[in-house]
Copies of this chain bind each other. A is one copy, B any other.
Amino acid sequence: MSLLQCFSMKHGSLAVAVCSLLFCSVLLAAFDGPKFSAGDELSRPADYREWVFVSSGLGMTYNPVSTPNATPRFTNVFVNPSSYRAFMKNGRWPDKTMFVLEVRGSTSEGSINRGGSFQTDVVGVEAAVKDEARYPATKWAYFDFGHGPDAKDRVKALPASASCYACHAANTAVDNTFVQFYPALFDVARRLGTVKSTFAGH
C-alpha cells in the first residue's frame, strides 16, 4: 500500500484531491524541457541559468576571419537537466530536449584582472528545441528571444529557411547539436558511438 493510498483511505475524497494536486505538482516540476503556448510560441525559461552548462566559447565564428575581433562575445550553452542526464547515459538527445545559448559581452580590464577576458552583460538569448511531432520536417527548431528592450518572453520558431537549420544539419557531430564543441559530452558520444558517420573525425 502506498503512502498516497493510505492517506486517501483515511481521509476520503478531499484527501484524494489534495494528493492528486501534489502528484501533479511533482510531475510538472519534473518536466524541465521546452514549454509552448497555444500558438506554438516557446517560452523563454526563467531558470535556464540553473540548467546544466555544457560549455562556453569566446568569439567563435564559422566564417573566415580577416581581422581579429576587438569585441568578442562569450557564448554560454545550457541544456535542460533531464536531457543532459539522458545524453550522459546513452549519447543521444531525447525528444523535448532544449538548449539555451546565452550570448554575453566580454572585457579584459576590471577589478584586479590584467589580461584575458571575462563576461559582461547578456547581449542575446537563443534556443534550439527537439520536438519531432511539432516540427516533423526538421525535428529541431531554432528560436531567437532577442535582448535588451526588444527581448521577448515567447517567440515562434525561426522559419526553416533560416541559416541555422542547414548549418546545424550539415556541421554538427551528434543529432543537430555542436557536441564537438562540448568536450565533456563529445567524450561520451565517441565512447558510445553516437557521433554521426558523416562527421569528420567521428
Contact = CB atoms under 8 A, between A and B. Distances in A.
Interface residues of A, number: 54
Contact of A116 (B58, B64, B112, B119): B58
Most buried by B among A56, A74, A122: A56
A116 B200 contact: no
Given A1-B10, A119-B183, A120-B183, 18 more contacts: A3-B7, A49-B52, A50-B85, A53-B53, A55-B118, A57-B117, A57-B119, A59-B116, A59-B117, A60-B117, A61-B116, A62-B114, A63-B114, A65-B115, A104-B183, A110-B180, A111-B201, A119-B181
B120 A61 contact: no
B111 A200 contact: yes
Contact of A78 (B53, B65, B104): B53
A115 B60 contact: yes
A159 B189 CA distance: 40
Interface string A67-82: 0110010101010010
A114 B171 CA distance: 13
B76 A53 contact: yes
